[in-house]
Amino acid sequence: MPYMGYGMYYDSTWFIFVLPALLIGLLAQAKVSGAYNRYSRVNSGSGLTGAQVARMILDRNGLYDVPVEPVAGQLTDHYDPRARVVRLSSSIYNGSSIASMSVAAHEAGHALQHADGYFPLILRNNMAPIVSFSSRFVWILIVLGFLVSPFLLELGIAIFIGVVVFQLVTLPVELNASRRAMAQLENGISPRESLRPAKSMLSAAAFTYVAATLTAIAELLRLLALANRRRN
């Protein structure tokens, strides 16, 4: 899940480090929303639903035991590595649009990564529970660090570095899943005329992870600058 936190203090460092990344993040969100809204209304021409696309990709790669299940919500599509299941939102699961085909192929791409032992995915999966738990407290520690104790500030920054590392690991995982998805779509699943739109859809989604990573890095640089100012 992309990091999209923007901090709690607004001073010159916010405008220098965070604002540019924030603007890129907003652009990324607009781009992916626009691509999804556009291509969710365009039939892929394959005659396959998202569920069928995912199933075809899994089966042709020998992953017959990985189920494809519907999940509630919109854009809640994901691959669950613990249960080894591809879960698709109802519009993707039942839809036959270019968006449905692209998203389903991307999530199946994560299953292929898992089967191949793709190291960045394994690393991300191992980091996820720790980062999810610790990130709930990071800003509390940072605020207390500015108000009470430099030690808490240093601890908060150390935890935030873990968040940034998690984003850096997530980025190649998502980009690789999209590349795997396109390779599968090009191999007889998608009609030729739908390949370029599918690539645009996947590129827009990947851009959100690039933006999230830049935002996390910018926020870390800002925190380091504020911590250094406090020491001085």
107 as an active site residue: the answer is: yes
- What lies within 8 Å, CB to CB, of 163 at 6+ separation is 3, 131, 134, 135, 138, 216
Q: Residue 64: count other Cβ atoms within 10 Å of its Cβ.
A: 9
> Could you identify the residue written with the tokens 């939102």?
89
The label of the residue with tokens 């607004």 reads 10
Neighbour count for residue 200 (Cβ, 10 Å) = 16
Helix/strand/coil for 10? coil
Annotated catalytic residue, options 69, 107, 154, 193? 107
Do residues 7 and 171 touch, judged by C-beta distance below 8 A? no
Distances, alpha carbon 110 to alpha carbons 22, 79, 98, 203, in Å: 28, 6, 19, 16
Contact residues for 73 (Cβ-Cβ < 8 A; gap 6+): 89
Catalytic positions, written as ranges: 107
